[in-house]
């Protein structure tokens, strides 16, 4: 298809693909998906060369969340098979950082459940971050909900490198999966993160019943926001949640989504996270021709695959693992 064969050249020449282009990408016949992957891979290689980054997280506070996100095991609104606990100790956060380094993660994210971390929790996390930065060669990220500028500045001063705050879905679809807060609140939090000068990590979950238009809209929103890292999650249905029986994805549709986000966000780190193994299946490694980052060592409430397998994959693909606070040798387009 001529449309597919022109994609990399258009993006590498600085063109911003249109919404119509995005819808075409998601509707490409399955027999042409490998051609699409080849084009998206050209863009990844132009910007990130042969580099790959692992990140790791600690679920530092689990469950008892007041929000009703339909996909989430941690919501207090649903009966799910998890154990709720309050913020872990500083020592446990440091242990998590050590484990991250052991699996060659370049980033370590401290994640807490709830609409937002309390002032006391933010202070404790900031203290832990200071110790981590003194002790371990890893960049520290945080995912703490709708924190305010005061908290963000405190975290930045402590040495936090990046804040994760996912929009999860398009503005249009968001109300179908969350009713206790708005998409706009999440969007404004990302703007606050950027205002204080912290790096931004924001992504989505796919397979929740969203339309192709919703997927393209989210990719375009992240392009407009110019976020640094886009984690792509593929729904792993959790018993007890409203989406506990949802099965809306095929491996090839997942590949199309990964390619779409690369082509619409050529300078962003495309990071494959929750559900990558279960949903991409036999196309899992192929997706990393397009993506350049992954979450290793497990997810918030689900185990991932053995980190050693991800290292083996990186070697097979001829990729170089960025670690020990190295920076990507990134060659941004239109710099």
The predicted model gives 224-232 an average pLDDT of: 97
pLDDT at residue 237, as a whole number: 80
Instruction: Report pLDDT for 93.
Output: 96
Cβ neighbour number for residue 151 with a 10 Å cutoff: 25
E strand segments, the chain: 51-61, 107-112, 139-143, 162-164, 199-201, 204-206, 229-234, 269-272, 293-295, 320-322
**pLDDT of 113:** 76
Query: Do residues 21 and 256 lie in contact, with contact meaning Cβ atoms separated by under 8 Å?
Result: no
Distance CA(58)–CA(131), nearest Å, equals 16
pLDDT digit string (tens) for 242-268?
777 788 899 999 999 999 999 999 999
What is the pLDDT, as a whole number, of residue 213? 98
Read off the tokens for 111.
């994640």
pLDDT mean over 213-219? 98
Q: What integer is the mean pLDDT of 269-282?
A: 95
Joined together, the tokens standing for residue 128 give: 């832990």
DSSP, res 59: E
Cα–Cα distance measured from residue 199 to residue 310, given in angstroms and rounded to the nearest whole number: 25
Each residue's pLDDT tens digit, 109-148: 999 977 788 899 999 999 999 999 999 999 999 999 999 9
Give tens-digit pLDDT for 80-112: 666 777 899 999 999 999 999 999 999 999 999
**What's the CA gap between 59 and 201, in Å, rounded?**
17
Average model confidence (pLDDT) across the chain: 90
Give the pLDDT mean for 297-316. 76
* pLDDT higher than 90, residue 39: yes
- Is the model's pLDDT at 6 over the cut of 80? yes
Q: What is the pLDDT of residues 57-88, one digit of tens each?
A: 998 887 567 776 777 766 656 666 667 778 99
């Amino acid at each position: 298809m001529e449309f597919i064969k022109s994609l990399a050249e258009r993006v590498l020449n600085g063109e911003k693909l249109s919404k119509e282009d995005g819808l075409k990408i998601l509707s490409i016949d399955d027999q042409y998906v490998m051609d699409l992957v080849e084009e998206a891979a050209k863009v990844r290689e132009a910007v990130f060369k042969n580099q790959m980054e692992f990140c790791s997280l600690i679920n530092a506070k689990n469950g008892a969340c007041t929000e009703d996100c339909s996909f989430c095991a941690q919501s207090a609104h649903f009966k799910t098979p998890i154990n709720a606990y309050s913020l872990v100790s500083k020592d446990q956060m440091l242990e998590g950082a050590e484990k991250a380094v052991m699996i060659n993660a370049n980033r370590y994210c401290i994640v807490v459940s709830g609409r937002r971390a309390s002032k006391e929790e933010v202070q404790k996390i900031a203290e832990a971050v200071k110790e981590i930065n003194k002790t371990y060669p890893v960049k520290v990220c945080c995912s703490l909900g709708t924190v305010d500028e005061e908290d963000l500045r405190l975290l930045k001063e402590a040495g936090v490198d990046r804040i994760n705050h996912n929009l999860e879905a398009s503005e249009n679809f968001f109300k179908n999966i969350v009713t206790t807060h708005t998409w706009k609140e999440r969007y404004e939090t990302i703007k606050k993160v950027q205002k204080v000068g912290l790096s931004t990590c924001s992504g989505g979950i796919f397979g929740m019943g969203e339309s192709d238009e919703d997927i393209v809209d989210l990719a375009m929103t992240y392009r407009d926001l110019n976020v640094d890292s886009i984690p792509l999650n593929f729904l792993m249905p959790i018993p007890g949640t409203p989406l506990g029986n949802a099965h809306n994805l095929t491996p090839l549709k997942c590949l199309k989504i990964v390619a779409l986000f690369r082509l619409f966000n050529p300078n962003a780190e495309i990071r494959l996270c929750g559900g990558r193994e279960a949903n991409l299946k036999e196309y899992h490694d192929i997706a990393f021709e397009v993506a350049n980052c992954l979450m290793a060592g497990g997810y918030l409430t689900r185990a991932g695959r053995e980190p050693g397998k991800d290292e083996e994959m990186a070697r097979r693909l001829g990729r170089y693992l960025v670690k020990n606070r190295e920076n990507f040798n990134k060659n941004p387009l239109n710099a």
